[in-house]
Amino acid sequence: MVDQKVMEKYAELALKVGVNLQKNQALMVNAPIEGADFTRIVARKAYEMGAKDVHINWTDDELTLLKFEHAPDEVIGTFPEWQVKLYDSYAEDGAAVLSIRSTNPDLLQNIDPKRVAMANKAAAEALKNFRKYTMNDKIAWSIISIPSGDWALKIFPDASREEAVERLWDAIVKIVRVDQENPIAAWEKHNETLRKAHEVLNEKKYKKLIFTAPGTDLEIELPEGHIWKGGAAVTESGTVFNPNMPTEEVFTLPHKYGVNGTVSSTKPLNYGGSVIDNFQLTFKDGKVVNFKAEQGEEVLKHLLESDEGAKRLGEVALVPNESPVSQSGLIFYNTLFDENASCHIALGKAYPTNLEGGSSMNEEELDKHGVNDSLVHVDFMIGSDKLDIDGVKADGTKEPVFRSGTWALDI
């Protein structure tokens, strides 16, 4: 098992750098039962930091699977009202929200994708109000991961369960900088690097990005007033927090009507408890007009059919190949990690905070500015050491942004 001290350091990092918990603030945690030991440490530290209330929403892979296997459609397709009230009441109270993930990427692989899509859609619709809090940075939130046996075995199929968990702990601890003497200082430095990177990009005010790689030839228009972000975010009330740990990306939003060409995935995508792999999407005027996948095509189809916005892009993110996640050489089958090893784009909703004034625009205004809306937001990986990216400036001139998977700009 992982060292108690390591778990304590990680818990502290998640609370101080992840959600930046304040005195007298409530904390809502989503956590797996298999990770109860770690979660109890998080709760204890949160109270010690002055949290007024720590509530854990416990999840369990086995119970989730049982439900999908047995419950009728009307139960699968209904997101309970009490749970909406639970999420909303913590958000309204200004609570910090920490999600601890460890799900088996293959958990729902034998479940009818229609039922999984039904459940995801019901949840997304029911939590629309709650999502406004997170996607507009009205509250501090953070997603971290800890190993579970099933997940670790997916990454290290030849190891014993115990060994696999230990190796995954080792990998995660390195990637989130918990192996360093002072992880909090390391994160400050890292956030500074990401801040510099997005500042450079913000000055460029590119009209367009052109992605070229084997199987990829894609033009992404960037709307006027787009903002590159990366690393720490700030809530309306001024709390600096880190939505994702790890995070290695700088990202902005594509124009929802301005994406054209074809793009190929470079890593498997874990969506709704299944893996989609080796897939290709073709866009015309922002919309997916063609798609195929070697694995999980049916799941991809359901994802694209979630709603109108699911066929358009909501994010474009740049991650150089030197990222510690990429350096680990592992495929995690977990977007939180894999997206931070690789340039990626997201199907679905864009973050309004990626546009000047976006947080206070209504749906119509957002649409006019090219900001996509959807119930889903799903990142998928398109980066590799063969990826080149060019930036097209206001005057129409082109310049290299990425060459062979890493920065060509001075960043």
Q: List interacting residues with its own copies (CB under 8 A).
A: 24, 26, 33, 36, 40, 43-44, 47-48, 51-54, 56, 58, 60, 62-63, 66-67, 69-72, 74-75, 80-83, 85-86, 89
Residue 63 touches which member of its own copies, Zn ion, none, C-beta under 5-8 Å by kind: its own copies
Q: Of these partners, Zn ion, its own copies, none, which one is at the site of residue 379 (CB under 5 to 8 Å by kind)?
A: Zn ion
Minimum CB distance to its own copies, residue 58 (Å): 4
Nearer to its own copies (CB atom), residue 1 or residue 66: 66
Q: Which does residue 14 touch among Zn ion, its own copies, none (CB within 5 to 8 A, set by kind)?
A: none
Q: Which is nearer to Zn ion, 68 or 251 (CB)?
A: 251
Contacts of 373 (CB under 8 A, 6+ apart): 309, 349, 350, 363, 366, 367
- The CB-of-77 to its own copies minimum distance in angstroms stands at 12
- Looking at the Cβ atoms of 56 and 387, the one nearer to its own copies is 56
Q: Which does 67 bind (CB under 5 to 8 A by kind): its own copies, Zn ion, none?
A: its own copies
- To its own copies, the closest distance from the beta carbon of 349 in angstroms equals 25
Least Å distance between CB 86 and its own copies? 4
Find which of its own copies, Zn ion, none residue 83 binds, CB within 5 to 8 Å per kind: its own copies
Nearer to its own copies, 40 or 403 (CB): 40
Question: Between 128 and 398, whose beta carbon lies closer to Zn ion?
Answer: 128
- The option from its own copies, Zn ion, none interacting with 36 (CB < 5 to 8 A, set by class) reads its own copies
Q: Which does 66 bind (CB under 5 to 8 A by kind): its own copies, Zn ion, none?
A: its own copies
As measured in angstroms, the least distance from the Cβ of 112 to its own copies is 16
Minimum gap (Å) between residue 186 Cβ and its own copies: 29
In whole angstroms, the minimum distance from the beta carbon of 342 to Zn ion comes to 10
Chain contacts with Zn ion (rule: CB under 5 A)? 249, 251, 315, 317, 346, 379
Residue nearer to Zn ion on the CB measure, 317 or 325: 317
